[in-house]
Amino acid sequence: MINIFIRIFIFWAATFLLSVSASAGQLMSRNALTLDVAKQMAAVAMQYTIKQKGLAVIVVMDDGGHLLYLERMDDAPLGSIDAAIGKARSAVMYQRPTEVFQKMMEEGHTNVLGISGLVPWGGGVPVMWQGHMIGAIAVSGMSPEQDAAAASLAANTISGIVGR
């Protein structure tokens, strides 16, 4: 009789442990930018920049703020490299266009300068896919408004690049 209770207890305990370990070991699946998609988005930003007769640096980062792609037009200002990297990283880390922070500065909210790592100039835009941020694109070298327009245009082409 005791032997049956021991077997039932062992069976119940094993079943419980297997169910707990199965649910605890699952990983989240997510979409991620690829180099090919980054290059296609950058090409859109590049076309806009050329139409504006501008010179710029274009940066694409993944959702962790790591550099995925960088393109510098001939004769684009060297300082635009760091500016574009900072804009893209700011868009990733704060999950909003850097233009938002530029507008806050223009309204007198200079406290945004104290936000760690923030570049408060237009031109950095999060790349969204199916309601989730999967990275950011940034443009630097023209006016902040032109940079923002180029980056926004490129970020909004994601659905045309990867489909539905």
Q: What is the mean pLDDT of each run of 10 residues along the chain (164 residues)?
A: 67 63 71 95 98 98 97 97 98 97 95 93 96 97 98 94 78
What was the pLDDT predicted at 131? 92
Instruction: Give the domains, in start order, of the chain with CATH numbers.
Output: 35-162 (3.30.450.150)
How many beta carbons lie within 10 A of that of residue 158, not counting itself? 21
What was the pLDDT predicted at 159? 85
For the chain, count helices (H), then strands (E).
6, 4
The residue type of 108 is: G
pTM for the model stands at: 0.82
What was the pLDDT predicted at 7? 67
What was the pLDDT predicted at 27? 84
Phi-psi region of 143 (alpha: psi -120 to 50; beta: other; left: phi over 0): beta
How many beta carbons lie within 10 A of that of residue 33, not counting itself? 22
What was the pLDDT predicted at 15? 66
